[in-house]
Structure 1
Amino acid sequence: MSYKPSWRSFASVTASNIGTVFDSNTVDRSEDNIVGAFDVEEIDTDLFRSLRLYIPAGARGVYGGQVIAQATLSATKTVRPEMKLHSIHCYFIFAGDPDIPILYQVTRIREGKSYATRSVQARQRGKAIFTLMCSFHTPEPGLSHQLPMQELASIPHPDTIKPEENTFHRWISEVEAKKKKMEDDAADGEATTKMEDLLSLLKMKLDESRISPVETRLISNHLEEGTGKTGKSTRMLWFRSRAPVPPVDAMRKAFVAFASDFHLIGTVSSALGLNFRTSKPRLAMMVSLDHTMWFHNDIEPSQWMLYVMEAPWSGGARGLAHGKIYSMDGTLLVSVSQEGMIRVETEKKRKTIEASAKL
């Protein structure tokens, strides 16, 4: 099978050609396309290779949730079919390059009757960029309990919430109006260039939200948060798959792993009152450092799931976020934790950060 490079390369996208780079009318919503986002191919014993790679708008490397999903599926392909994934623990080491495939080397740590343990190392150019440890369990009967999701009744139904594209449309209109005013006022070239860059990024974000495998409804519009003052330390959203995911436990968990990284660390920036647009200081860089998931119950990706996130702590240019994913009836499906790096822009460091874009 031939390697398919990134879904789209943002390096070549500009404000003038974005309409031709993205065409939401031709987006493939088929099952094959959505599975291709996180599936891998086996090229040798316990060695797997990515099929597609994806860079979010404005990001410096491959989307972390995709690497988690692909590494998880690689490990799953080496255990007995009756065993189910119940936990993963990951570290992001270097940004992934979307122009070459990622190789996933699986090591069989333990092969027990009830439990199996795997480690996965993701590599590019002979260097590890990501590591994952995961555990599998043969289902067995046992006692159970769950803290009730008491707020569920007061949370708006996803069908009553507007798509996040609406916010991007409004932002684009606002920025276009500001840009025109700056041009009319003969503003300095640097300020106009910044406005053009922001407009290009917002257009990419808009098209990205349209064609993402994950459909999202933002309960509290955290896209609006970040004013330079302390903001909300919690956020909630509904999400589901845009197309059917095969009725296979490993694929369904891979989808949730893929989706779990989209908004989680942003809870920390919201708690700090930071964003990339208007906050002072402005958010300069936000990167996931590690990611942990515990899978509790069966998942149906085509049904709406509630993602409840909170940021209990931040300091020293790092922040911690926790998440819980529920079904619509309040069943706890997945628990998530993540630490990320949060850096703010200063005049002294701005050019250095933009030039290096690395830890």
Structure 2
Amino acid sequence: MHEIRKQIYEYFFLQEADVDVYFTENIWVPKGARGVFGKSSISFIQNHSLSLLTCYNIQTIGGQSLHSYFLLAGKEDEPIYYHVERIRDGKSFASRNVLAKQKGRIIFALSCSFQVPEKSSIEHQYKMPDVVPPEESQEYQELQRDINVMRHPNKEYDGFEKVGRISMNVFRATPKDIELKKIFDLATPSKIEERAKSGKAYSDDEISTPYDLWWIKMMDDLSHLKIQLHQCLLAYISDHTLLSAIRLPHFTGSNINKNKRNMVVSLDHTVWFHTPFRADKWLLYEIESPRLVNGRGLAFGKVYDNNGVLVASVSQEGLFRTISLDDRGKRNEPLLFTSNSPVLSKQKQPKL
């Protein structure tokens, strides 16, 4: 119990204010953002509930799911207090509700569930997409970069900021399928630059699909962290690129420079944890968006470890306000995409 509390403070700066009340004064604001939104809140609150469970000596329990709503933007110069409501502690499952408050205002709400691991006689999962391994990816070689997990104003290292000692490596994956690779190239910066220099116009059917693939991992060795901390880190990084698939059809390919984004922000976020994993090992994040309408875009994500095991599933709806750059303010024609039904693979189920 002491060790996990120490890790929670070390990596998320969480402190206990009272019984079932926690707070943090180290608040991360995304670059260019107008306030504190999804990433910091979801990770902090996930930690609060996990730390409470260790108080009950449920050492083997881990996160099963979390469902959250981002209600108001927070301020970085005011502490955020997290008020936890204990809903139920059963033999297999435990439940908590959490409200995040700043100066008396509720800015974030979350419900989360935890489960003691158990075995099952049946199992299935979707197959991991066929992609080039991260170390062999051209984009990894060209665009490898450090992206901070959270910004802590008193800690700067080598030109970028961190929380504690961790930073994140993220880049777009390269699909092996030739046709899918052509679609991905429509949104690849180097390919867009090449196309612009060539002066070759996009044809009407050169439209990016609302589908994306990303390699993500924490860069430091985190083998000493409890599984609950790895879940907290995934709760954070699962929000990092999830809305990316929503924009692809409308801002790349033949639709490049036809629309302008006025506002993009997370409205809600859900994560289901399936099996244990390590956040400091490569995770493939597969993202698709089935719907964008009324200024709201819906995205679903699947997170695979490097062995092909589906370790988590994610969903999120985001506010996506745009304007047309057409001189006449013309509304773009709605785009229609097809989705394939699952087919049984001849490959064996990857082992945990």
TM over 0.5: yes
> Per the alignment, do residues 143 and 60 of structure 1 end up closer, same or farther by CA in structure 2, a change over 3 Å counting?
farther
Q: Which has the higher helix share?
A: 1
> Per the alignment, do residues 43 and 209 of structure 1 end up closer, same or farther by CA in structure 2, a change over 3 Å counting?
closer
Unpaired runs of at least 5, structure 1:
1-31, 170-206, 348-359
Unpaired runs of at least 5, structure 2:
1-5, 146-158, 174-183, 193-201, 326-352
Identical aligned pairs, as a percentage? Answer: 30
8 Å CA contact 2:45–2:98 kept in 1: the answer is yes
Cα deviation 1:198-253 (Å, max 9, x = unaligned): xxxxxxxxx76999822112115746499998522110011111223343011010
Residue 134 of structure 2 is aligned with which of 155, 158, 173? 158
In the other structure, the counterpart of 1:262 is 240
> Per the alignment, do residues 346 and 126 of structure 1 end up closer, same or farther by CA in structure 2, a change over 3 Å counting?
farther
Distance 1:110 1:299 in 2: 26
In the other structure, the counterpart of 2:209 is 232
8 Å CA contact 2:258–2:324 kept in 1: the answer is no
In the other structure, the counterpart of 1:107 is 85
Distance 1:158 1:165 in 2: 9
8 Å CA contact 2:134–2:140 kept in 1: the answer is no
In the other structure, the counterpart of 1:45 is 19
In the other structure, the counterpart of 1:298 is 276
Distance 2:209 2:102 in 1: 38
In the other structure, the counterpart of 2:219 is 242
- Residue 59 in 1 paired to residue 33 in 2? yes
Give the secondary structure class of the aligned counterpart of 1:149.
coil
Q: Which has the higher strand share?
A: 2
In the other structure, the counterpart of 2:44 is 70
> Per the alignment, do residues 102 and 136 of structure 1 end up closer, same or farther by CA in structure 2, a change over 3 Å counting?
same
TM-score (norm 2): 0.70
In the other structure, the counterpart of 2:312 is 334
In the other structure, the counterpart of 2:257 is 279
Distance 1:230 1:121 in 2: 41
- Residue 311 in 1 paired to residue 289 in 2? yes
CA positional deviation for 1:271: 3.0
In the other structure, the counterpart of 1:213 is 167
> Per the alignment, do residues 124 and 150 of structure 1 end up closer, same or farther by CA in structure 2, a change over 3 Å counting?
closer
TM-score (norm 1): 0.69
Cα deviation 1:10-49 (Å, max 9, x = unaligned): xxxxxxxxxxxxxxxxxxxxxx999755341111111111
CA positional deviation for 1:114: 1.4
Distance 1:253 1:150 in 2: 20
8 Å CA contact 2:9–2:15 kept in 1: the answer is no
CA positional deviation for 1:96: 1.8
CA positional deviation for 1:262: 0.7
Letter in 1 for 2:169: E
8 Å CA contact 1:274–1:281 kept in 2: the answer is no
Distance 1:218 1:210 in 2: 22
8 Å CA contact 2:230–2:278 kept in 1: the answer is yes
Deviates more, 1:122-131 or 1:96-105: 96-105
Give the secondary structure class of the aligned counterpart of 2:74.
coil
Cα deviation 1:132-155 (Å, max 9, x = unaligned): 000011122223422342533xx1
CA positional deviation for 1:165: 9.9
Distance 1:34 1:74 in 2: 9
> Per the alignment, do residues 163 and 69 of structure 1 end up closer, same or farther by CA in structure 2, a change over 3 Å counting?
farther
